[in-house]
């Protein structure tokens, strides 16, 4: 005679979902939508660099002014990240994600309708603010659908969406720019954003590990100890994550604003070729994230620590990126493209950092901690586009006027300024690698291994 503990769980409960596998299928549907969400978010960043060659002359912008607009994308990034992090303790992440998606879409259309330099500046500031919490909320949402020991892979799959954004978008946007004009690049992103928002409204939701209700006994264990957030924020682990994140955001700001200019002006590629070649770093980064996600999952299922599964691989990747950036000024042509691909791809894995910190806090604290990390680290992306623009002008580079072709002197000055930017970026990433390898230890902050039992 079977005991009561062998009874079939009631339909509709978490225990039943775990038993028959339906929760897992729903979890992967939500994961796919979150990947698309990340793709759109990073496509929104990449579009500015792709339209630079046409928009700068038409809008009468210098390198410093265009760099300032690139930096402006991150002006409200921190503020909104902090605010949404606090809000996430009261509002479900699924509703926050929906609001973000709709706002992203709507703010694209003013440039399609003829906006000038001032409108471009304002819309980039607003868009950047609305995208500030994107990674934190995406990871918070996907963590709500998977048990702690199973999160490394889906987290990195969602994170890979951020690298796939330019991979998917750059060729499409380049084609739209060539065929319909640079303003339609913004219009296309607005339309795609509205389509995603509708899909999320119909299919998206918070998962059973989101902390809104206690999990049934049949579900894998979830950390429930709520530690003071201040304890984590003042730890060396959090400081190391900030430094590592600063390096990644610095690189993102640099690449999305200036790498298309480097590929067209210095390497000599056409805009259509840039649309293909500029996807390589992001594709490399996406593959790296997926590979590190598989590695991290295997290590953690085998009893490895969060440090060995996430922190150390991140630090090694940052060190490789630093070395490649430092070598770039001494190269040219195809070798330069290869080094840029490796350097950029290895420094586009920021989402591993909030994933590591998520293991140190309870479910209801994840959104806040991730958002605070992203808000502080994003200062790197505020600095780099403007700083690189200043370095380019200091090297003597001046943007061509409308209808004017670049002269050899313009190209030489652009190359000199960007080479200084590569060296500076290599130094920033070397510091990020050192900090994360030495001090990123989530296991020491809380009893992480107990949460994985």
Q: Which token pair is 51?
A: 């339209």
pTM, rounded to two decimals? 0.67
**Domain-located, residue 50:** yes
Q: Looking at residue 248, which CATH number applies to its domain?
A: 1.20.1250.20
Count of structural domains, the chain: 1
- The DSSP-derived string for 370-387 is HHHHHHHHTHHHHHHHHH
**Domain-located, residue 3:** no
Give CA–CA dist 108/97, Å, rounded. 17
Give CA–CA dist 284/292, Å, rounded. 12
Residue whose entry in the numeric block shows the structure tokens 């999952």: 297
Q: Could you tell me the pLDDT band of residue 402, with boundaries at 50, 70 and 90?
A: low
The whole-number pLDDT of residue 430 equals 96
Stretch 257-264: mean pLDDT: 82
Give CA–CA dist 17/348, Å, rounded. 35
**Domain-located, residue 145:** yes
**Domain-located, residue 15:** no
Tell me the pLDDT tens digit for each residue of 331-387: 988 899 999 999 988 987 887 888 788 777 766 677 678 778 887 888 888 888 888
Q: Which token pair is 276?
A: 């293909």
User: Is the per-residue pLDDT at 390 higher than 60?
Assistant: yes
Q: Which token pair is 346?
A: 């290895």
User: Is the per-residue pLDDT at 166 higher than 90?
Assistant: no
The whole-number pLDDT of residue 76 equals 81
**Domain-located, residue 1:** no
**Domain-located, residue 142:** yes
Tell me the pLDDT tens digit for each residue of 14-56: 444 445 455 577 788 888 899 888 888 877 777 887 787 788 8
Residue 167: which of 374, 353, 381, 344 has the closest Cα?
A: 344
The boundaries of the domain holding residue 108 are 23-209+221-451
Higher pLDDT, 224 or 434: 434
**Domain-located, residue 8:** no
């Amino acid at each position: 005679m079977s005991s009561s503990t062998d009874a079939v769980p009631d339909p509709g409960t978490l225990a039943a979902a775990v038993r028959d596998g339906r929760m897992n299928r729903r979890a992967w549907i939500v994961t796919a939508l979150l990947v698309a969400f990340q793709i759109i978010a990073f496509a929104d960043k990449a579009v500015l660099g792709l339209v630079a060659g046409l928009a700068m002359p038409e809008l009468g912008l210098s390198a410093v002014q265009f760099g300032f607009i690139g930096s402006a994308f991150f002006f409200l990034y921190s503020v909104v990240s902090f605010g949404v992090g606090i809000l996430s303790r009261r509002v479900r992440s699924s509703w926050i994600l929906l609001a973000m998606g709709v706002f992203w879409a709507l703010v694209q259309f003013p440039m399609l309708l003829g906006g000038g330099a001032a409108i471009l500046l304002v819309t980039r500031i607003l868009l950047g603010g609305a995208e500030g919490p994107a990674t934190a909320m995406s990871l918070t949402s996907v963590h709500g659908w998977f048990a702690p020991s199973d999160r490394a892979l889906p987290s990195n799959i969602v994170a890979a969406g951020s690298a796939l954004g330019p991979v998917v978008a750059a060729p499409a946007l380049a084609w739209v720019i060539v065929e319909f004009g640079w303003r339609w690049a913004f219009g296309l992103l607005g339309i795609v954003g509205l389509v995603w928002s509708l899909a999320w409204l119909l299919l998206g939701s918070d998962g059973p590990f989101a902390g809104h209700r206690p999990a049934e006994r049949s579900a894998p264990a979830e950390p429930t100890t709520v530690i003071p957030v201040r304890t984590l924020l003042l730890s060396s682990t959090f400081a190391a994550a900030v430094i590592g994140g600063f390096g990644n955001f610095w690189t993102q700001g640099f690449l999305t604003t200036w790498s298309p200019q480097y590929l067209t002006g210095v390497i000599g590629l056409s805009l259509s070729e840039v649309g293909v070649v500029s996807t390589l770093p992001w594709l490399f980064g996406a593959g790296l994230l997926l590979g590190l996600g598989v590695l991290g999952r295997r290590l953690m299922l085998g009893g490895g620590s969060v440090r060995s599964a996430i922190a150390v691989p991140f630090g090694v990747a940052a060190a490789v990126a630093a070395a490649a950036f430092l070598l770039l000024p001494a190269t040219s042509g195809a070798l330069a493209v290869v080094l840029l691909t490796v350097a950029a791809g290895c420094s586009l894995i920021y989402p591993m950092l909030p994933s590591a910190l998520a293991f140190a806090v309870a479910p209801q604290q994840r959104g806040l901690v991730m958002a605070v990390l992203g808000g502080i680290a994003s200062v790197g992306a505020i600095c780099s586009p403007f700083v690189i623009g200043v370095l380019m002008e200091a090297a003597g580079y001046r943007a061509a006027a409308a209808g004017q072709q670049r002269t050899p002197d313009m190209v030489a000055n652009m190359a000199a300024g960007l080479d200084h930017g590569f060296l500076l970026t290599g130094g920033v990433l070397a510091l990020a690698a050192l900090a994360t390898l030495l001090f990123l230890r989530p296991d020491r902050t809380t009893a992480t291994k107990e949460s994985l039992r």
